[in-house]
A and B are shown apart, each in its own frame.
Chain A
Amino acid sequence: MTTPAPVETLDLSTLLPGFVTTDTRPGYSGWVVDKNHLVEFASKLRDEFGYDLLTSVTGVDYLPDDKMEVVYHAFKTTGGPVLNYKVQVPRQDPIEVPSLVSVYPGVELQEREIWDLFGIIFTGHPDLRRILMWEGFEGHPLRKDWKEAYFEEESKPFKSRWPDGKIVQAENNNKFSDNIAYPAGFDPEKWIPEGEDALYGSLAKYEYTSQDGIKNDHIVVNLGPQHPSTHGVFRVSAVLDGEIIANLKPVMGYLHRNHEKIGERNTFLQNMPYTDRLDYLSSLSNNFGYALTVEKLMNIEVPERAEYIRVIMAELTRITNHCMALGALFNDLGTFFTPLIYLLEERELILDIFEAVTGSRMMCNYFRFGGVARDFPEGILEKIKGLVFERLPKKIDEIDRFMSDNEIIRSRGIGQGILTAEDAIRFSATGPLLRASGVPYDVRRADPYSIYDRFDFDIVVRQNGDIYDRYMVRLEEMRQSVRIIQQAIKGLPVGEFQTGKPQYQVRVPAGESYGRVESPKGELAFYVISTGKPSPWRYHVRAPSFINLTPYGHMCVGQKIADIVAILGSIDIVLGEVDR
């Protein structure tokens, strides 16, 4: 929020005369594209204007205007501000929008999510199935006229939670005393579950007879949702040709906690603790992204001291996240638990700092709009200094010394799970996954936010795009984070840590805002629409680990089955963020 984003000077209305118009709603920016010319428009943007990275696609339900909107956010991998464009369609089923998978394959999973949650059909999408809910689920939950079983009121605080001594529990208002609702006239005994046919049908199958007359058939292997190597409740469905992966689909939604639906009932500030629980390994980065997004809408400045505190905390978070990510990757590669425990030792020391500063080890809930919740407590700076000047550099070198030349890490990492730079961009990968493929794209440098333009640090890039390079990128990023914290501590000014007085109910002017940060996993962005009311009209999370899963199948095909977990570990996903 230090410098306003430069105004996009491109005039795209001449690109396809009559079909592209400026979004003139107050507080909005970008372009509205005619739906029949969307694919043409997107290809031109990519090929002629260099907007090669389409990071986010999401839907918005404008129920009062009786229309649905699909919002696209595109960037250049050479850096620069956002370009957003929208497609508006009338809100009558079937709602159809052309799919952009042919131009940007990275939208595949996101378009499936929009189909699942908004019921917008993407024509031309190769595999349009539900993704977070199951096949057969009734309705599209993020539509504004869809109400959940525990629905109480349109916005919080609910009257039942008002402390007047008569708290009503949600169960008591539901006729089944549970969080369930069925369509009218539903007969559970006649219900036939849809099962997994749609998933298995989408996997490419083969059947052939080899030269000696032996009939070969495909075999489908499912990993998860309960599997020790899938980093949570993630599922992989793979078709195997012997030991080689012929096709693979990620299956998710087992931790779909409805962040977006709940977030649209919460007040703006109430969403802050929920962001902690998105990527629960790096809660402060999530706070950062959400705070930036809403601050953009509110147009407020953050005091210097708060900016420095934010950067210190966010970079410490990056180190804790990479500790966990590398430890888990080593686990997946076969060096079971010992390196993880070494790394967790460092993580614990940083968590102690989080606990002292924010009050919680993991769910920090520390950022506020216009600053942070409280100042650094006494003595904490000495602790951080001791860590970043003395201990951490040595420990990172120690891991480097022990692991980087390790036979297992090298033979299972080098040349495995390759993602080329072109593919990484096409599939909208961000973060270490993209940088390991040779694209020096880091939001901290490409579109600087907060005070990152003041620090001297390197964007870590490796060229091969394999598992080993992703490990090396993360290791080196820990060193760069230490560098940034060292500079931030030296520059930490005295002063206010919060603009104005703290308030529970912030006034957010109407408009849209897309705020992004470089979270440890990639580009984390929030797309928030305010109508001037206490709750956001739309609250969307552009989750890096969800979108980084788009190239997962592509990376796995042709690898051995044992590499499924290794490649997954090198993407570094957190299920809280994948499923939201």
Chain B
Amino acid sequence: MDVKDINTPGYEIPEEIEGQVAITTLDKIYNWGRSASVWPLMFALACCGIEYICAQASRFDLSRFGMEVTRPSPRQSDLMLVSGTVTKKMMPTIVRLYNQMPEPKYVIAMGSCASGGGPFKEGYNVVSGIDRYIPVDVYIPGCPPTPQALINGLIKLQEKISKQSIKTVRWYQKGEDQASIPVPILGPDLIDPRKIPLIKNHEA
């Protein structure tokens, strides 16, 4: 059964109790609750973080979408909003924060730097996009994206959440608890532990 079928209840409600009873699926109610209460990690890297603050403030008022409760601790948050240039020196910290977030967790790459390095891509201390290390759900273009663009990206994330199903999501699967990512090492340059065989191959 695919996700679409799971989300169609297939029960007719008798006319006399239509006002009192609503039938839905577990997926729908679960996703509705999750998508309307996404708690982002209070985590601003650079310029995009300022636009994120503006999106939170009175004019754009992010709380209309149920996303205003930022948490300083990764243990309490669902969403990592990577807002700014990711540097090599910061990368181990970001991966550690990501690993500390409990499932279900999502990542948004806000702005061109987090998406692919942006104007600073050629820099020696800049990572060419956060998706080289952690999985990204939504990319928001812009340098920096306006608060409207950010809100649009967050609505896209809500849409993504509401299409998920308990049956198929990774955090209810058997096997390993979560997709934990090996923490990069600060060597002569940044070392991704997953790439060690490749590095050895090239440098030997």
Measured CB to CB, the residues of A under 8 A from B are: 132-134, 136-138, 141, 148-152, 170-171, 175-176, 178-189, 191, 193-194, 225-228, 232-233, 253-258, 261-262, 265, 273-274, 277, 280-281, 324, 340-341, 344-345, 347-348, 351, 361-363, 575-576
Contacts and interface: CB of A to CB of B under 8 A. Distances in A.
26 contacts: A134-B186, A136-B188, A137-B189, A149-B124, A170-B121, A179-B128, A180-B191, A182-B189, A186-B188, A187-B200, A187-B203, A191-B187, A225-B93, A228-B42, A232-B49, A253-B125, A255-B46, A255-B85, A257-B85, A258-B122, A262-B122, A273-B119, A274-B119, A277-B46, A576-B46, A576-B47
A31 B116 CA distance: 45
A295 to B, nearest CB: 24
B89 A256 contact: yes
Given A137-B188, A227-B72, A255 B45 contact: yes
A176 B195 CA distance: 9
A188 B197 CA distance: 9
Q: Which of A152, A189, A255 has the most CB of B within 10 A?
A: A255
A194 B204 CA distance: 23
B187 A262 contact: no
A118 to B, nearest CB: 14
A141 B124 contact: yes
A181 B119 CA distance: 20
B144 A362 contact: yes
B196 interface: yes
Contact of B58 (A180, A273, A341): A341
Given A133-B89, A191-B185, A257 B199 contact: no
Contacts of B125: 132-133, 141, 253, 256-258
Given A232-B46, A262-B120, A340-B57, 10 more contacts: A133-B89, A138-B188, A138-B189, A178-B195, A187-B203, A254-B93, A265-B122, A280-B144, A341-B57, A348-B54
A228 B57 contact: no
A261 B199 CA distance: 26
Contacts of B121: 150, 170, 179
Contacts of B123: 148, 257-258, 261-262
B120 A193 contact: no
B117 interface: yes
Majority-rule SS of A interface residues = loop
Interface of B: 42-47, 49-51, 53-54, 57-59, 72, 84-85, 87, 89-90, 93, 97, 117, 119-128, 132, 143-144, 146, 185-192, 195-196, 198-200, 202-204
A361 B120 contact: no
Contacts of B203: 182, 184-187
Contacts of B72: 227-228
Nearest to B113: A257
Contacts of B85: 255, 257
Nearest to A251: B89
Contacts of A228: 42, 72
B46 A575 contact: yes
Interface centre among B189, B199, B203 (most CB of A within 10 A): B189
A254 B122 contact: no
Contacts of B192: 178
Nearest to B94: A226
A181 B188 CA distance: 8
Contacts of B58: 341, 344-345
B199 A258 contact: no
Contacts of B195: 176, 178
B43 A226 contact: yes
Contacts of A138: 188-189
Contact of A261 (B124, B127, B191): B124
A534 to B, nearest CB: 17
A487 to B, nearest CB: 30
Contact of A191 (B46, B51, B124, B191): B191
Contacts of B144: 280, 362-363
